[in-house]
Amino acid sequence: MTATTVTLGKALNLALHDALASDPRVLVYGEDIGKLGGVFRITDGLQAEFGPERVFDTPLAESTIAGISVGLAIKGFRPVAEMQFDAFSYPAFNQITSNLAKYRTKTGGTCNMPVVIRIPYGGGIGAVEHHSESPESYYAHTAGLKVVSPATPADAYALLTAAIQDPDPVIFLEPKARYYQRQELTLPLPPEPLGRARIARPGSDATIIAYGPTVAVALAAAEGAAREGISLEVVDLRSLSPLDMDTLTASVRKTRRAVVVHEAPVFMGLGAEIAARLMHDLFDVLAAPIERVGSATVPYPPARVEKLFLPDADRVLEAVDRIREY
Partner 1 sequence: MTNIAQRRGTSAQAAADPIAAMVDEHGVLTADAERAANVSDAELRDLYRLMAIARRLDQEGVNLQRQGEIGLWGPINGHEAIQIGAATAMADADWIFPYYRDFGMAIARGVDPGVALTWFRGLNHGPWDPRELRFGPGIISVGSQMPHGVGFAIGCKLDHEPIAVLTCSGEGATSTGDWHESMNFAGVFQAPVVVLCENNQWAISVPFRQQVAGHIADRAAGYGFPGLRVDGTDVLTVHAVVRAAAERARRGGGPYLVEALTYRFQPHTTSDDPTRYRDEADAAPWRAKDPLANAEARLRARGAWDDAFAEQTAQAAEEAATNMRQTLLNAPPPHPGIVFDQVYANPPDSLLREKAEFVSSLESGGAE
- Provide the annotated active-site residues: 131
Shortest reach from residue 70's CB to partner 1, in Å: 5
CB atoms within 10 A of CB 87: 18
Query: Using CB under 8 A, which of 7, 32, 102, 253 touches partner 1?
Result: 102
User: Under DSSP, is residue 293 helix (H, G, I), strand (E, B) or coil?
Assistant: strand
CB of 310 closer than 8 Å to CB of 123: yes
Least distance (Å) from partner 1 to the CB of residue 108?
Answer: 6
DSSP 87: G
DSSP secondary structure of 216-285: HHHHHHHHHHHHTT--EEEEE--EEES--HHHHHHHHHHHS-EEEEEEEESTTSHHHHHHHHHHHHSTTT
Considering only residues 258-317, where is the footprint of partner 1 by CB under 8 A? Answer: none
Site for partner 1 in 152-191 (CB under 8 A): 166-168
Residue closer to partner 1 by CB (options 266, 270) is: 270
Q: Which of residues 222-241 bind partner 1 (CB under 8 A)?
A: 241
Give the shortest CB-208-to-partner 1 separation in angstroms.
22
Pick from 4, 5, 22, 98: which binds partner 1 (CB under 8 A)? 98
Return the number of the residue (144 or 213) whose C-beta is nearest partner 1: 144
Whichever of 125 and 143 has its CB closer to partner 1, that residue is 143
The residue within the footprint of partner 1, chosen from 143, 276, 296, 308 (CB under 8 A), is 143
Q: Which stretch binds partner 1 (CB under 8 A): 68-76, 148-156, 208-216, 226-234?
A: 68-76
Rounded Cα distance between 107 and 47, Å, is 33
According to DSSP, residue 314 is labeled H
Q: How does strand 239-241 pair with strand 146-148?
A: antiparallel
